[in-house]
Structure 1
Amino acid sequence: MPDDTFKEFVPDQLGALPELRARAMFGAHGLYAGDRFFGILDEGRLFFKTDAVSAADYTARGMGAFTYESKGKVLTMAYHEVPPDVLENAPELIEWARRAIQIAAIKPKTKKKSVRRGS
């Protein structure tokens, strides 16, 4: 499916989600539900935000993580490609999207910086 058609198809499939919008970013498009960044549209593929538990569902179906190259290194993000059969089934796709939105709402734990005291 050509990329422009795909960029129209995915929002149509996800039309039941509130406050859905796509925004151009780094040659791809980010999907947002309100202020929650939960998906990536890139080169005719859809990726959803994952955590350790949900990523297993994607990898069990043969789907990989979103990767990109920066400064000669390949970096992997916590987004996995949505299986084609899920993509074609709007009700199921919406369920997967809702799970991705919930994951996107969880703030990552940040390490506390230790305070060094002068001697």
Structure 2
Amino acid sequence: MAKPIDPFASYACELLSGLGPCVARRMFGGWGISVDGMNVAIIAWDTLFLKTNAETEPQWLAAGAQPFVFEAKGKRMKLNYHTPPAEALESPALMLPWARLALQAAVSARKPQRKPVTGGSTRKG
């Protein structure tokens, strides 16, 4: 029998429903939330964090977002996840712009990295 989903994880999926069907899975004592197989959010310490990247992070910070920071082996580690604005937690409609930014970051993370071009010389001679 499957373990019931945490009420907050269920609510987070409802908030992110504008992206499509969400799946919440237990992860490291918290929850991972994905859409179309891409991780768009995590829940840790009863707090929702949405996926960010270098391109989207300034928008999150301008809105007062807090980064996902944890301690490992005595060092502070930061992952590319930030809290959405408090008002975004009120409804799927208010969350939608932030959810779209999270999806944008997830899609960017999924794209294969360009391989450096090797081979021929660029020297003229």
Tell me which interval the TM-score lies in, with the shorter structure as reference length. 0.7 to 0.9
Question: Cα distance, 1:108 vs. partner?
Answer: 6.6
Separation (CA, whole Å) in 2 of partners of 1:64 and 1:110: 31
Q: Is 1:31 matched with 2:55?
A: no
Instruction: Work out the percentage of aligned pairs sharing the same amino acid.
Output: 34
Matched ranges for 1:1-119 at <5 A: 4-106=6-108, 107=111, 109=113
Residues 58/26 of structure 1: CA separation in 2 closer, same or farther (3 Å cut): same
Separation (CA, whole Å) in 1 of partners of 2:64 and 2:20: 29
Retained in 1: the 8 A contact 2:18–2:92?
no
Q: Residue 52 of structure 1 aligns to a residue in which SS?
A: coil
Retained in 1: the 8 A contact 2:56–2:105?
no
Residues 110/26 of structure 1: CA separation in 2 closer, same or farther (3 Å cut): farther
Q: Residue 53 of structure 1 aligns to a residue in which SS?
A: coil
Separation (CA, whole Å) in 1 of partners of 2:19 and 2:77: 30
TM-score of the superposition, structure 1-length normalised?
0.78
Per-residue deviation, residues 77-117 of structure 1 (Å, max 9, x unmatched): 111111111121311212311221121111374776xxxxx
Deviates further, 4-13 or 43-52:
4-13
Gaps spanning 5+ residues in structure 2: where? 1-5, 117-125
Question: Cα distance, 1:64 vs. partner?
Answer: 1.5
Separation (CA, whole Å) in 2 of partners of 1:61 and 1:98: 15
One-letter identity of the residue aligned with 2:64: G
Gaps spanning 5+ residues in structure 1: where? 113-119
